[in-house]
Structure 1
Amino acid sequence: MANKKMLNIGIDLGTTNILVYVSGQGVIFNEPSVVAFDVDSGEVIAGGQAAYNMVGKTHGKIRVARPLREGVISDMEAAKALLKYIFLSLKNRKDLRNSYCVICCPSEVTHIERDAMRDLALQMGIGEVLIEEEIKAGAIGSGIDIYSPEGSMVIDIGGGTTDVGVLSLGDVVLSQSIRVAGNYIDQIIVGYIHKSHNLVIGQKTAEKAKIETATLLDHVEFNSEFRISGRDLVTGLPRAIVITSEEVRELLQPVFEEIGRLVMSVLEQTPPELAADIVDNGIVVNGGGSLIPGVKDYFEELLNISVNIADKPLTAVVEGTKVLLQNKGSYLNNKHSRE
């Protein structure tokens, strides 16, 4: 009897969204990294988008949790519950024992947390499990041949962290990370609206405002407005204001200055031969933050190096898992397959 074809599963365990790729099916899950529990029983009642829709709107019998915050697992039980929720939703659950799974997580996640995720996957019946860094998978998913002897640099502006990495010969040569990314920008917008407009808003509202108005381009090139509703600090009643792209651009400037310093720090530590490759090949930016208008121009002006935005910046990591699944993350496997 012929052996069953191995089922390959790639998971991008991001701070903001979790994406799941299954061989033969494509990306089957692309939803917020949020899970909702029944407080009394502790059972999961919703995950992904359904749980995200509950944020800020629950009563005392429902707890909504974000497993990852600022690139680290802040709630291990919630992380395990969300992964279990996804594994149970797979169509071919009976084939899990003949499967290989790559879980990509932020570089800040500890070895203990990685081991816990690996153990959970094995407990769910997964045959083999590999834990990889998002920066590596994201580089592959952005179209970079990280297995070549040429150096490449990737800037991943995600939800919880911004990761900057230099890769060569199939692995990360050096990388650094800061907790300044999409969620941090949301918090800055919340604070600004509070202080400047005496209005209390939630992070979901701030995120919508960011998506609609965020830009690094000057006022002449890009201008938009967004209506924000919240609770008036003085009267306690609901009230709405309008925020402009010019206001948000001023909030973004110091954020990207900090990211720029991180990139400069990594470049300063990059070995000369790899640095020369980066000058020739340019830098790739992925993650949700790369979608902000003006990001490419900002980094090119700062670094005097060509910069490209990944074709699919939001799904680059999970796209990269396809290659990692084919060669089980090994440089040698990839090397032999190309000879």
Structure 2
Amino acid sequence: MASILSPKRPEIAIDFGTANVRIIRRDDGILFDEPSLCCFSRMAGDHDLVAAGAQARAMVDRTPAHLQVKRPLGRGVLQDIEAARGLLRYAMSRAGGRRRLRAPRVIIGVPADATQAERNAMLTAANDAGLGEVELVAEPFAAALGANLPVGDPAGSMIIECGAGTTEVAVFSLGGICVSGSVRIGGATLDKAIADQLHMHHKFLIGDLTAEQLKLDYAARRQAPARTDGETIAIRGRSLRSKLRRRGRRRSLLRLCDGGGGHGHGGF
């Protein structure tokens, strides 16, 4: 962690999350910010990268049998080295533009409680992708620096980082992490809970992307100053009752979004 604050700190920082991957270059800001998704060809044993990032996201739930969309990370840790390698190569090529980023010094965020095996897997993917000197940093520490918290002060500072795959809490003092805790639950868990709720109680199927958008729309409605409890949100999915795709309207969405149980109120 000390190297982040040193004069020879890394040139590139990579936030490799379960939902999105971001590449930031010192003095230039964000160079790349797209979904953490890859699409591979499965024809004749071939596993060539067909699309990645936003292009792969557009192919979710729409691919023919010979194509497969993969998510390199699950619950904050690497679960597919091949997909991670392909996505990192794609992201670095896009981030470099016409000026190719040749083996830069890089830091990559990992969960504070990542095991040595999980850390080694991330380093392997980064090296295979052609990155230069790679250092792993605890994500809560990187988030604290990004939030300009006084992590070097004797007085403690705390941060809560909520990602798609993990939620982490850490307390910092004198440039280090004093105590931290994490659970492998995040925004993606809520997406699945929303999809399961509609499936179990309304026999209505929606995909991961629709569930995520429904969550974001609901959160935006909750934060609106002129919110009314009777508002509805339109979604598209497939009804198991009619076996046809149809449009649903969800009122008050889910009590689980309000911190309650998994029961919904209202209907389609």
In the superposition, the TM-score normalised over structure 2's length comes to: 0.83
Gaps of 5+ in 1: 257-339
Matches within 5 A, 1:9-48: 9-40=12-43, 41-48=46-53
Could you tell me whether the CA contact under 8 Å between 2:159 and 2:170 is conserved in 1?
yes
For residue 74 of structure 1, report the CA deviation from its aligned partner: 2.0
Residues 254 and 145 of structure 1, relative CA distance in 2, 3 Å threshold: same
1:62 equivalent among 67, 72, 78: 67
Pair 1:242-2:249 in alignment: yes
Number of aligned pairs? 248
Which residue does the alignment assign to 2:266?
A: none
For residue 230 of structure 1, report the CA deviation from its aligned partner: 1.2
Aligned identity (percent) is 34
Q: Residue 247 of structure 1: SS of its match in structure 2?
A: coil
What do the CA deviations read for 1:169-211 (whole angstroms, capped 9, x no partner)?
1122111111322111111111111122221111111111111
Counterpart Cα distance in 2 of 1:16 and 1:77: 17
For residue 93 of structure 1, report the CA deviation from its aligned partner: 2.9
Which residue does the alignment assign to 1:290?
A: none
Gaps of 5+ in 2: 1-7, 262-268
For residue 148 of structure 1, report the CA deviation from its aligned partner: 1.5
Counterpart Cα distance in 1 of 2:65 and 2:215: 30
Higher-RCO chain (CA-CA 8 Å, sequence separation at least 6): 1
Residues 230 and 148 of structure 1, relative CA distance in 2, 3 Å threshold: same
Counterpart Cα distance in 2 of 1:221 and 1:94: 47
Q: Residue 153 of structure 1: SS of its match in structure 2?
A: strand
Could you tell me whether the CA contact under 8 Å between 2:12 and 2:23 is conserved in 1?
yes
Counterpart Cα distance in 1 of 2:188 and 2:222: 21
| Structure 1 vs Structure 2 CA RMSD | 2.6
Partner amino acid for 1:11?
Answer: I
Q: Which moved more, 1:180-189 or 1:218-227?
A: 218-227
Which residue does the alignment assign to 1:173?
A: 178
For residue 60 of structure 1, report the CA deviation from its aligned partner: 1.0
Counterpart Cα distance in 2 of 1:196 and 1:8: 50
Partner amino acid for 1:36?
Answer: C
Q: Residue 193 of structure 2: SS of its match in structure 1?
A: helix
Residues 48 and 125 of structure 1, relative CA distance in 2, 3 Å threshold: closer
For residue 125 of structure 1, report the CA deviation from its aligned partner: 4.7
Which residue does the alignment assign to 2:5?
A: none
Counterpart Cα distance in 1 of 2:160 and 2:106: 25
Pair 1:233-2:256 in alignment: no
Between Structure 1 and Structure 2, which shows a larger proportion of helix residues?
A: 1
For residue 108 of structure 1, report the CA deviation from its aligned partner: 4.7
Which residue does the alignment assign to 2:109?
A: 104
Counterpart Cα distance in 2 of 1:242 and 1:205: 13
Residues 232 and 114 of structure 1, relative CA distance in 2, 3 Å threshold: same
Pair 1:208-2:213 in alignment: yes
In the superposition, the TM-score normalised over structure 1's length comes to: 0.67
Which residue does the alignment assign to 1:144?
A: 149
